[in-house]
Amino acid sequence: MITHMQHNPSMFGFRASKLLLSVLFLIQLLSTQLLAQRSKSPWQTLTGKAPRVIARGGFSGLFPDSSLNAYNFVAPTSAPNTVLWCDVQLTKDGVGICFPSVTMYNASNVQDAYPKKKNSYLLNGVPTQDWFTIDFTSKDLQTVFLIRGVLSRSDAYDNNQNVISTVQEIATQLKKPKGFWLNVQHDAFYTQHNLSISSFLLTVSKTVIIDYISSPEVSFFRNIRFGKTRPKFVFRFLDKDEVEVSTNQTYGSLMKNLTFIKTFASGVLVPKSYIWPVKDQYLLPHTSFVKDAHRAGLEVYASGFANDFDIAYNYSYDPLAEYLSFMDNGDFSVDGFLSDFPLTASSAVDCFSHLGSNASTQVDFLVISKNGASGDYPGCTDLAYSKAIKDGADVIDCSVQMSSDGVPFCLNSIDLVESTNIIQSPFKNRSATVPEFNSLAGLYSFNLAWSEIQTLTPAITNPYNGGFKMFRNPRERSSGKLVTLSQFLNFTKNSSSLVGVLINVEHAAYLREKQGLDIVKAVLDTLKESGYSKRVMIQSSNSSVLVDIKKHSRYETVYEVEETIRDILDSAIQDIKTFADAVVFKKLSVYPVSASFITGQTNLVERLQKKFKLPVYVETFRNEFVSQAWDFFSDATVELNTHVTLAGVSGTITEFPLTAARYKRNRCVAREDTPPYMIPIQPAGLLEIASPTSLPPAEAPNPVFTDADVTEPPLPPVIARASATSPGPLSTDQKAPNGQARVALSLLLSALSMVLASLLLLL
């Protein structure tokens, strides 16, 4: 277990000030040379230098776009040469401000401040109704505050009175950013209203260093004049079928004339789909755009990067994977990324690019799959398991279920409705009501023979299809075959990278007593027959199962604490230690949350591991940003890093093993001077700077786990099944496969209610 983070004295005892956002990351910047020091450049950028990160409106994925908070948060979280992007707008009195758009409704409270100032203008020929910056003087705007423009983001910073800043103020308050990029989206519009961006720029450039200027209007570049230090001019491409106002050509046709662009610009900024086009949210082969532009001598900056939307299925909801495909694909690299989450972009460039297939492990913990790579394929299928192995899981898992004829096989749940198409099969009339599991009827595995179960089509799990409409790999939603425990073990034998298997055993008492099926014996016999020689862990949430396993075998045992808890009695840990070699906790038992913000860190992991020498594994890690607390910046790697380096967990149980296995090999985590984007988050740090009015009242604390929670009566003997369970009518609730864990559901609901609340605010 690596613990160097905890040894850093500056990690603790630091009193956060509400204004100094930098406290959230406690170690400051890495030296600038790191990126430059590469002797032989691996980068296929135009210059051979690493791609630049450009923070759109600051860290706008977290704080309101263009707010000082958002700009201030870039330096303590991102690569030292990250460029700050400002969308320049002009006010009625010709003052240049940083604001995401010339229309103001979307990202500010202007509607509340000036309810009557809604106006209508032609914007690029389109009649547009909104509040326009040109209708307000800079003084008028002092009572308007910035809010988030993307509703799926947290509203916790919308009530912080985020003032609108002038370009001058941003440049001076941030003390010489390492790069300043001004984007001028609507020069022609301002000209029509007798306001001049060019003369504003000429004036401001006397006191402010501008490194880049971009615009989607050709005429803008023709007309602007600068003194002796001229910024880089970057022509911005919009969607291919949009028309460029000064040439009356579509961007799609201008794209074919890059030598023309080169006559007035040194770079281009393009939507990411120019490079990796997408159809039905799946990637198509990449275009030759980057190479063509490089050949024409143009740098290529790509836009549209955010951790929380617009990501192709091919990336499995992992934003790092997306960045890597634009810069580490063996063919080309873009020269920069325009991102709302500059931390993730920085981490991709510095820690994860060009790792190669041989990069060694930098941080020691077990990557344990959850139903195989169930984020990519239907869980517990041959495809999910082989993907998990290929992705670098150390341990793959089988949740064992029993068929009526006593064949142990792997499936997430004893109820086949959750992860197969049984509802559409001839076996839908096998339903039964088992009060021990559910008051509603289910289609249970022990009512079908293995030969019947084999004919079912597996179904991918979509935990966030409800409120968020987030689906997993729809093209593979019914792919793969279910496997028996024996096939599962056979499958793993061949892999050299696997450390072992984790076999989960539940409902043992019920199966023995009511179904005449001995799941414990079936598992032990299958293990013995298979001659499996690697590490075997047997997991259960029922202590009696593990006590029984210990009695009959020497396999490692893992006790799962299903409840979300805040503490556990020493005496309970002593009990657990008598039958378990490791413990599994829910994520929320380590970092509890309120309104999806982390409220602190329990000492469960440290106590179990240090005092009682019981390794702790934590579940369930997912890539979808809605599964994570806001504190992790919608970045699954930040969440993993915090659990591993700050909490010190010994293993992570994940539906996306690729992300965890890749994190393990990143080149930043073991660096002496850990860069800010690979430092764990400060628990409760974000909550501290949220405005209290946006937060719900504190929730009741989670319970404490006691001896009584651990102790169970011994397993009952096997009682032969008298007759088949009588079929009952199937509940109408059970329509579609849906395997939602309790924790995920509560997170989902809280995040969902935030989205709803914010919708109401804006209406």
Ligand X SMILES: *[C@@H]1O[C@H](CO)[C@@H](O)[C@H](O)[C@H]1NC(C)=O
Q: Where are the beta strands (DSSP E) in 131-251?
A: 145-146, 162-163, 180-183, 212-215, 232-236, 243-244, 249-250
Q: Is 194 in the site for ligand X (CB under 6 A)?
A: yes
Chain positions 301 to 330 lying near ligand X, rule: CB under 6 A, are: 314
Query: Are the C-beta atoms of 107 and 99 separated by less than 8 Å?
Result: yes
Shorter beta-carbon distance to ligand X: residue 108 or 654: 108
Shorter beta-carbon distance to ligand X: residue 495 or 691: 495
Q: Can you read off the two tokens belonging to residue 88?
A: 């320049």
The structure tokens 């704080």 sit at 63
Query: Are the C-beta atoms of 369 and 657 separated by less than 8 Å?
Result: yes
What residues are paired with 505 via a beta bridge?
400
- Angle between helix axes 508-515 and 519-530 (nearest 10 degrees) is 110
Least Cα distance to 510 among 539, 551, 540, 550 occurs for 540
Q: Can you read off the two tokens belonging to residue 446?
A: 């022990």
Kindly indicate which of the ranges 329-337, 563-571, 584-592, 706-714 contains the residues binding ligand X, using the contact rule CB under 6 A.
706-714
Chain positions 468 to 497 lying near ligand X, rule: CB under 6 A, are: 475, 486-487, 490-491, 494
Query: Are the C-beta atoms of 537 and 502 separated by less than 8 Å?
Result: yes
Chain positions 68 to 127 lying near ligand X, rule: CB under 6 A, are: 100, 106-107
Least Cα distance to 598 among 642, 562, 652 occurs for 642
Q: How far is the CB of 530 from ligand X (least distance, A)?
A: 8
Q: Can you read off the two tokens belonging to residue 747?
A: 């997170």
Shorter beta-carbon distance to ligand X: residue 113 or 283: 283
Of 115, 356, 531, 692, the one binding ligand X by CB under 6 A? 356
The span from the CA of 517 to the CA of 564, in Å, is 31
Q: Is 224 in the site for ligand X (CB under 6 A)?
A: no
Cα dist. 74→242, 404, 439 in Å?
Answer: 32, 58, 51
Q: How far is the CB of 603 from ligand X (least distance, A)?
A: 26
Of 23, 202, 278, 283, the one binding ligand X by CB under 6 A? 283
Shorter beta-carbon distance to ligand X: residue 88 or 107: 107
Shorter beta-carbon distance to ligand X: residue 175 or 279: 279
Q: How far is the CB of 224 from ligand X (least distance, A)?
A: 18
Give how many residues touch ligand X by CB under 6 A.
34
The span from the CA of 630 to the CA of 615, in Å, is 27
Chain positions 174 to 193 lying near ligand X, rule: CB under 6 A, are: 193
Shorter beta-carbon distance to ligand X: residue 698 or 722: 722
What is the helix (H) or strand (E) element at residue 593, kind and residue range? Answer: strand 593-594
Opening angle at CA 179, ends 176 and 180, nearest 5:
85
Q: Can you read off the two tokens belonging to residue 735?
A: 């329509």
Q: How far is the CB of 500 from ligand X (least distance, A)?
A: 17
What residues are paired with 183 via a beta bridge?
87, 214
Q: How far is the CB of 231 from ligand X (least distance, A)?
A: 23
Shorter beta-carbon distance to ligand X: residue 64 or 680: 64
Chain positions 416 to 435 lying near ligand X, rule: CB under 6 A, are: 426, 429
Amino acid at the residue 214: S
Least Cα distance to 283 among 329, 322, 244 occurs for 322
Shorter beta-carbon distance to ligand X: residue 25 or 585: 585
Of 525, 671, 712, 721, the one binding ligand X by CB under 6 A? 712
Chain positions 665 to 684 lying near ligand X, rule: CB under 6 A, are: none
What is the helix (H) or strand (E) element at residue 89, kind and residue range? Answer: strand 83-90
Cα dist. 121→88, 94, 112, 186, 720 in Å?
Answer: 19, 18, 21, 13, 80
Q: Is 727 in the site for ligand X (CB under 6 A)?
A: yes
Q: What is the 3-state secondary structure (H, E, C) of 643-711?
A: HHHHHCCCEEEECCHHHHHHHHCCCCCCCCCCCHHHCCCCCCHHHHHCCHHHCCCCCCCCCEECHHHHC
Query: Are the C-beta atoms of 290 and 332 separated by less than 8 Å?
Result: yes
Q: How far is the CB of 172 from ligand X (least distance, A)?
A: 25
Kindly indicate which of the ranges 356-364, 369-377, 387-395, 594-602 contains the residues binding ligand X, using the contact rule CB under 6 A.
356-364
Q: How far is the CB of 32 from ligand X (least distance, A)?
A: 28
Q: How far is the CB of 704 from ligand X (least distance, A)?
A: 18
Q: Is 384 in the site for ligand X (CB under 6 A)?
A: no
Shorter beta-carbon distance to ligand X: residue 119 or 490: 490
Q: How far is the CB of 25 from ligand X (least distance, A)?
A: 25
Shorter beta-carbon distance to ligand X: residue 431 or 642: 431
Q: How far is the CB of 314 from ligand X (least distance, A)?
A: 4
Shorter beta-carbon distance to ligand X: residue 75 or 104: 104
Of 248, 439, 533, 726, the one binding ligand X by CB under 6 A? 248
162 contact partners, CB below 8 Å, separation of at least 6: 63, 64, 67, 68, 69, 145, 146, 147
What residues are paired with 302 via a beta bridge?
270, 337
Chain positions 251 to 280 lying near ligand X, rule: CB under 6 A, are: 257, 260
Amino acid at the residue 274: Y
Of 91, 152, 183, 542, the one binding ligand X by CB under 6 A? 542
The span from the CA of 292 to the CA of 245, in Å, is 24
What residues are paired with 108 via a beta bridge?
146
Least Cα distance to 48 among 57, 56, 39 occurs for 39
What is the helix (H) or strand (E) element at residue 52, kind and residue range? Answer: strand 52-56
Q: How far is the CB of 107 from ligand X (least distance, A)?
A: 6
What is the contact mask toward ligand X in residues 145 to 164, using x (rule: CB under 6 A)? ----xx--------------
Shorter beta-carbon distance to ligand X: residue 146 or 743: 146
Q: How far is the CB of 666 from ligand X (least distance, A)?
A: 17
Shorter beta-carbon distance to ligand X: residue 22 or 487: 487
Q: Is 509 in the site for ligand X (CB under 6 A)?
A: yes
Kindly indicate which of the ranges 112-120, 447-455, 595-603, 707-715 contains the residues binding ligand X, using the contact rule CB under 6 A.
707-715
Shorter beta-carbon distance to ligand X: residue 248 or 732: 248
What is the contact mask toward ligand X in residues 434 to 453, using x (rule: CB under 6 A)? --------------------
Q: Which residues bind ligand X (CB under 6 A)?
A: 100, 106-107, 149-150, 193-194, 247-248, 257, 260, 282-283, 285, 314, 356-358, 426, 429, 475, 486-487, 490-491, 494, 509, 542, 544, 712-715, 727
